[in-house]
Structure 1
Amino acid sequence: MINSIIEGISISLNAEFGDNYTTYTESVEQGLKEPCFFVFCINPTNRVFLGKRYFKTNQMCIQYFPVDKDRKKEECNAVSERLFDCLEYITVSGDLARGTKMNAEMVDGVLNFFVNYDFFVYKKEDTVSMEELSESVSVKG
């Protein structure tokens, strides 16, 4: 599920910003091409809700590394406004998912954008059925 969310975010970022912005989902040792985004899940949780229903919380972080070193804040502010719009709805496994709890902060010239994608999940239980059932019924009187 988390990988599907990351894929949905990457598709939405590419649709909004185009091919000039690289999106990374794994760490990069060398050759970081700016401007770029890093997408990763920070704190996934899974708790029982009712019966076989589970509530999954997926807090995602999208980091943006600006290209203009002289005007980092201005560029990050413009990107954060666009991220609020393009990440409100993403497609996850063919279904729309809505982003909640969105917020942005700048740390050391890098924009950190946080968004939650929360889902209810129903787990099916494998049942073993009987091969044959016979029943005998009689009426008294």
Structure 2
Amino acid sequence: MAVKVNDVLNGVTRALAEQFPNMPRYCEEIKQELNAPCFFVKLFPIAQGRGIHRRYVRYYTFDIHYFPDPDKEENEDAHDIVEQLYDNMEYLYVGASLCRCSRMRHEIVNGVMHFFFSIDMQLIKQITPSPLMETATIKETIK
């Protein structure tokens, strides 16, 4: 399975766009002038572990920042949004595959809600086949 980092990132932002179609989303770079309420998707460093033979596990960890509506009570707005994230971010599509998010948690720091979660992808590394033997001659005798 050839899953790229951008496939996973696009899956997360697509899930946010489906849940909150009218809310701006920023990815990987915070702009100087954010129009709150909005989301910022941060991908933490990716790790990969080795499994058996050609199998690997790749660990993607995300932090979705939510900048609340300045016209609302900030914690109340953030708690409303995080409830929706817990309900709707459990499963999301990465390419054509349905993936499960795990280790979901949140916290509010300096008026910004942070929603953390991980996606662990099982991967099988493609190997190029070795060239096959072209011909073989077998000589048999019976005694």
Structure 1 residues 6-21: aligned runs within 5 Å:
6-18=9-21, 20-21=22-23
Matched, 1:43 2:21: no
RMSD (Å) for aligned C-alpha atoms: 1.6
CA distance in 1, matches of 2:116, 2:135: 55
- After the TM superposition, which parts of structure 1 deviate over 3 Å for at least 4 consecutive aligned residues? none
CA contact (8 A) 1:34 1:65 kept: yes
- 5+ residue gaps in structure 1? none
How far residue 56 of structure 1 moved from its aligned partner, in angstroms, is 1.1
Q: TM-score, normalised by structure 1?
A: 0.90
CA distance in 1, matches of 2:54, 2:68: 44
Residue type at the aligned position of 2:111: G
Work out which of the residue numbers 77, 84, 87 in structure 1 matches 2:86.
84
CA distance in 1, matches of 2:112, 2:39: 10
Three-state SS of the structure 2 residue aligned to 1:137 is: coil
Three-state SS of the structure 2 residue aligned to 1:61 is: strand
CA contact (8 A) 1:6 1:40 kept: no
Residue type at the aligned position of 2:17: N
Identical positions, percent: 28
CA distance in 2, matches of 1:36, 1:137: 76
Distance change >3 Å, CA 60–CA 111, structure 1 → 2: same
> How many residues align structurally?
140
- 5+ residue gaps in structure 2? none
Structure 1 residues 17-96: aligned runs within 5 Å:
17-18=20-21, 20-68=22-70, 71-96=73-98
CA contact (8 A) 2:104 2:117 kept: yes
Q: Deviations over 1:67-126 (max 9, x none)?
A: 225511000000000001111010001010000110010000001000110011111222
CA distance in 2, matches of 1:28, 1:96: 28
